[in-house]
Amino acid sequence: MDEDTPDDGAACPDGTPRPDGGTERAEPTEDVALDPWGSASVGDYADLFEEFGIEAFDDVADDVVDPHYLMRRGVIFGHREYDAVAEAMANDEPFAALSGFMPTGDPHIGHKLVFDEIIWHQKQGGDAFGLIADLEAHSARGMSWSEIDEHARNYLLSLLALGFDAEEGEIYRQSDNREVQDLGFELGSKANFSEFEAIYGFDGETNISHMQSVITQTADILYPQLVDEPKPTVIPVGPDQDPHVRLTRDLATRVRYFKVTEAFASFELDDDERQLVRAAYDALAAGDGEGEVDDAETDVRCEDAAEWLADYEPPETEAGDGDDAPSLDLAAAKSTALDKLRAGGKEPLRPRVRFFDRNATDEAFEALIEAVEGDKRVFEGHVDAFELTRGEAESVAREVEIDHGGFGFRQPSSIYHRFMTGLTGGKMSSSVPASHISLLDDPEDGYDKVRSATTGGRDTAEEQRELGGEADECPVYELYAYLLAGDDDELTKTVYSECVTGERLCGGCKEQAAELMREFLEDHQEKREEAEELLEELDIDLDSDRRGTGGEH
Ligand code: TRP
Ligand code: SF4
């Protein structure tokens, strides 16, 4: 039998069917770090939820009408606000998917995950975008323009071969997309160096073009919203790209003309305080609890609410008690809310939505005031509207912004997939050819690499029959789950259960996988040849006559 997968704390595949609970959590080993230009490995995916606020994909999976196999198998493990995209998809509303590829080498089976994710969203009706991150490859990886051209071509052929519809969707190079450049320039005016230092560890030695490539990526991520209208957009990527996603989500907000919040009186409340003041308002406005509350007719004053709140015990939240416990510190919020209410004195408490002028032009602010329907009050720098819901207010704000030359962006969403384990154990690395399979590998070489892959098998056949193999630790099982089984869940389930029960031995299992890999590569490469023609027809310059430095070698 084969040697065991070395336990290097790298990605632990958690494929279909998931092990029945209780696989022991690995000791928190490496520091969690998400570095877009560092090594693509993650010690423990669960840490990413707590450390970075990435959400578990499981929480949103039920909202996806017909989930992709990578979603069903836990390969896509995390997301940010994917609910917005799932909802648009379910309701036939506009949405988009975009991802980008740094043309630093050959596309391999890890990139295929992302190609597939874009293509799937396109088939679900989304606007789809695939871009070549040539500015990043040149500035962060020192690739020369001719190398970039060649690699870019290979990425695009594979993307097309896998089914990307370039007539419906859009493919571009960062360097050739003037709108992206302009958007990046605009976004860059809302970001500064200290922030790049904090997020990416940039310092005085970091080259300026590298920084420019970062701001270009934030523009890439928001670019789909320039086409037609702002819309939910998903960025399928590995978790190493999350810093870019977080920055872009921030910038998308910072460039907005208006900020919409909910308030009860002239003063501001934070989220926790608002929850308490709402409780006070609801209790007092409802009187003895009968009938609907008519906001306009209640006569609750700030001081009344203060009195009520003083005796109110906020619900306790136990720290660390499961995933669902809100991280609210209502006790602290109670004291600050009380101060604000007491200072409000006799001012009436009335729920309202508030529009702050953040970046609006004077005309846009005037137009907003016009556009707010019903009872409203205009202040220096903000408008309170008494008859709009939060949702209605958001739409008015967005419409006015777009009519007056703003972007009206929504925050982009993201989904994160697990990194594949290398075929030689450890991480998959393009610098170790045996550890990964390139989409350009000779099918026979692909076959051979799978045949000689590390497995989760036992030392002897006898032991394997007795104990079963460790499919969860097996790069070959991963190949089935991430790629070879395609949409066929039965196959992954069979391999998994036959493996862990000891019915399946690694020799035969690898032979089957190796043959599937050979077939996949043969088929894919045939399709790449057919895609040559499609690529020719596209308006993409793959013979850039850019001058520049030769790159670092
Ligand atoms: N930084 C990405 C990488 O290293 C490439 C990239 C550029 C990208 N722009 C993007 C990824 C926009 C997703 C979305 O591969
Ligand atoms: Fe062996 Fe296949 Fe099980 Fe991996 S999945 S341990 S190769 S039997």
Closest listed ligand to the CA of 111? 1
Q: How far is the CA of 79 from the centre of ligand 1 (A)?
A: 16
Residue 55 vs residue 40, higher pLDDT: 55
> Is residue 228 a contact partner of residue 20, using CB atoms and an 8 Å limit?
no
Residue 307 lies in a domain: yes
The C-alpha torsion from 112 through 114 and 117 to 120, rounded to 10°, is: -50
Coil, helix or strand for 214?
helix
Claim to verify: residue 294 and residue 356 sit in the same structural domain? yes
Using the mean position of ligand 1's atoms as its centre, give its distance from the Cα of residue 528 in Å: 23
| Predicted confidence band of residue 42 (pLDDT cuts 50, 70, 90) | confident
Pocket test for ligand 1, best of 35, 80, 101 (most atoms within 8 A of CB): 101
Q: What is the pLDDT of residue 280?
A: 94
Q: Among all ligands shown, which has an atom nearest to the Cα of 473? A: 2
Q: Are residues 335 and 202 in the same domain?
A: no
Ligand 1 atom with minimal separation from the 133 CA: 7
- Residue 238 forms part of a structural domain: yes
CA of 100 to the centre of ligand 1 (A): 4
pLDDT > 90? residue 490? yes
* pLDDT at residue 14 is higher than 90: no
Question: What mean pLDDT comes out for the span 260-283?
Answer: 94
Answer whether 242 contacts ligand 1 (Cβ < 6 A). Answer: no
Query: Residue 225 Cα, ligand 2 centroid: separation in angstroms?
Result: 44
pLDDT (0 to 100) of residue 197: 95
- C-alpha 440/C-alpha 419 separation (Å) is 20
Ligand showing the shortest atom-to-Cα distance for residue 453? 2
The tokens for 217 are 């990526």
Looking at the fold, whether 347 and 451 belong to one and the same domain comes out as: no
24: DSSP letter: P
Instruction: Report CA(502)–ligand 2 centroid distance (Å).
Output: 9
Per-residue pLDDT at 22: 29
Tell me the C-alpha distance between 276 and 337, whole Å. 8
Mutate to test the pocket of ligand 1, among 187, 244, 248 (most ligand atoms within 8 A of CB): 244
* Same-domain check for residues 127 and 218: yes
- Is the residue at 60 inside a domain? no
- Pocket flag, ligand 1, residue 133 (CB < 6 Å): yes
The CA distances from residue 37 to 172, 191, 249, in Å, are 22, 20, 20
How do the residues of the chain divide into helix, strand and coil, expressed in percent and rounded to 5? 45, 10, 40
- State residue 8's pLDDT score: 32
Q: State the distance between the two ends of the chain, measured CA to CA, in whole angstroms.
A: 41
Higher-confidence residue of 209 and 4: namely: 209
**Contact residues for 488 (Cβ-Cβ < 8 A; gap 6+):** none
Which atom of ligand 1 lies nearest, measured to the CA of 217?
9
Tokens in use for 351? 């729920």
The confidence score (pLDDT) of residue 542 equals 92
One domain, residues 339 and 383: yes
Is the pLDDT confidence value at 404 over 70? Answer: yes
Tally of CB atoms within 10 A around 397: 27
Q: Mean pLDDT, to the nearest integer, of 97-102?
A: 98
Taking CA atoms only, the protein residue closest to ligand 2 atom 8 is 506
Model pLDDT, residue 84: 98
237 touches ligand 1 (CB under 6 Å): yes
Ligand 1 pocket, 473 CB below 6 A? no
Q: How far is the CA of 455 from the centre of ligand 2 (A)?
A: 6
Q: Give me the DSSP letters along 163-207.
A: T--TTTSEEEEGGG-HHHHHHHHHHHTT--HHHHHHHH---TTS-
Q: Which of 474, 478, 484 gets mutated to test ligand 2 (max ligand atoms within 8 A of its CB)?
A: 474
487 and 508 assigned to the same domain: yes
Same domain, 215 and 358: no
Query: Strand 233-237's sheet: what is its strand order?
Result: 55-56, 76-80, 413-417, 233-237, 96-101, 127-132, 170-173
Amino acid at 515: E
Q: Please give the average per-residue pLDDT across 421-428, as a whole number.
A: 89
In degrees rounded to 5, what are phi and psi of residue 101? -130, 130
Q: 323 CA distance to ligand 1 centroid (A)?
A: 30
List the CATH number of the domain containing 129: 3.40.50.620
- pLDDT, residue 23, reads 31
Where does residue 35 rank: exposed (0-12), middle (13-18), buried (19+ CB within 10 A)? exposed
Are residues 368 and 482 both part of a single domain?
no
Q: Is 36 in the pocket of ligand 1 (CB under 6 A)?
A: yes
Report residues whose beta carbon is within 6 angstroms of any ligand 2 atom: 455-457, 469-471, 474, 476-477, 495, 499, 504, 506, 509-510
* pLDDT tens string 61-97: 999 999 999 999 999 999 999 999 999 999 999 999 9
DSSP 467-500: H---GGG-HHHHHIIIIITTT-HHHHHHHHHHHH
- DSSP letter at 384? E
295: pLDDT strictly greater than 60: no
* Centroid of ligand 2 to alpha carbon of 11 (angstroms): 17
Query: Can you list the positions of beta strands (E) in 279-427?
Result: 352-357, 376-378, 382-385, 413-417
Is residue 399 situated within a structural domain?
yes
> Based on the domain organization, do 214 and 286 belong to the same domain?
no
Average pLDDT, the chain: 89
> Does some domain include residue 526?
yes
| Residues 527-541 pLDDT 10s | 999 999 999 999 899
Residue by residue, DSSP assigns 57-79 as THHHHTT-SS--HHHHTTSEEEE
Residue with CA closest to ligand 2 atom 1? 506
Asked if the structure places residue 414 within a domain, the reply is: no
Strands (E), 24-122: 55-56, 76-80, 96-101
| Nearest alpha carbon, ligand 1 atom 6 | 100
What is the pLDDT averaged over residues 24-28?
35
Domain boundary pick from 385, 403, 421: 403
Q: Which residues form the domain of 348? A: 258-403
Nearest residue by C-alpha to atom 4 in ligand 1: 102
* pTM of model > 0.75: yes
Residue owning the nearest CA to atom 11 of ligand 1: 100
475 CA: nearest ligand 2 atom: 4
How many structural domains are present in the chain? Answer: 3
**Residue 492 included in any domain:** yes
Q: What is the CATH number of the domain that holds 479?
A: 1.10.240.10
pLDDT at 326 over 90: no
Share of residues in the chain with pLDDT > 70 (%): 88
CA distance linking residue 463 with residue 459, whole number of Å = 7
How far is ligand 2, taken at its centre, from the CA of residue 456, in Å?
Answer: 6
Same domain flag for 99 and 244: yes
Assign 292 a pLDDT band (cuts: 50, 70, 90). Answer: low
Q: Which ligand does the CA of 233 lie closest to?
A: 1
Instruction: Decide if 409 is inside a domain.
Output: no
Q: Which of 257, 290, 307 is the last residue of a domain?
A: 257
Residue after which a domain boundary falls, among 230, 257, 284:
257
Q: How far is the CA of 74 from the centre of ligand 1 (A)?
A: 22
CB of 411 shorter than 6 A to ligand 1:
no
292's tokens: 């609907």
Whether residue 488 sits in one domain with residue 441: yes
Report the distance separating Cα 232 and Cα 207, nearest Å. 33
Do 237 and 278 fall into the same domain?
A: no
Question: What is the reported pLDDT for 430?
Answer: 78
CB proximity list for 154: less than 8 A, separation 6 or greater: 103, 106, 107, 439, 440
Mutate which of 98, 115, 131 to test ligand 1's pocket (most atoms within 8 Å of Cβ)? 131
DSSP symbols for 237-303 = E-GGGHHHHHHHHHHHHHT-SEEEEEESSSS---HHHHHHHHHHHHHHHTTTT-S---GGG---BHH
Could you please report the per-residue DSSP string of 124-149?
TT-EEEEEE-HHHHHHHS---HHHHH
Helix orientation angle between 208-222 and 178-188, rounded to the nearest 10 degrees: 110
- Using alpha carbons, list the distances in angstroms from residue 178 to 172, 175, 223, 228: 10, 8, 11, 17
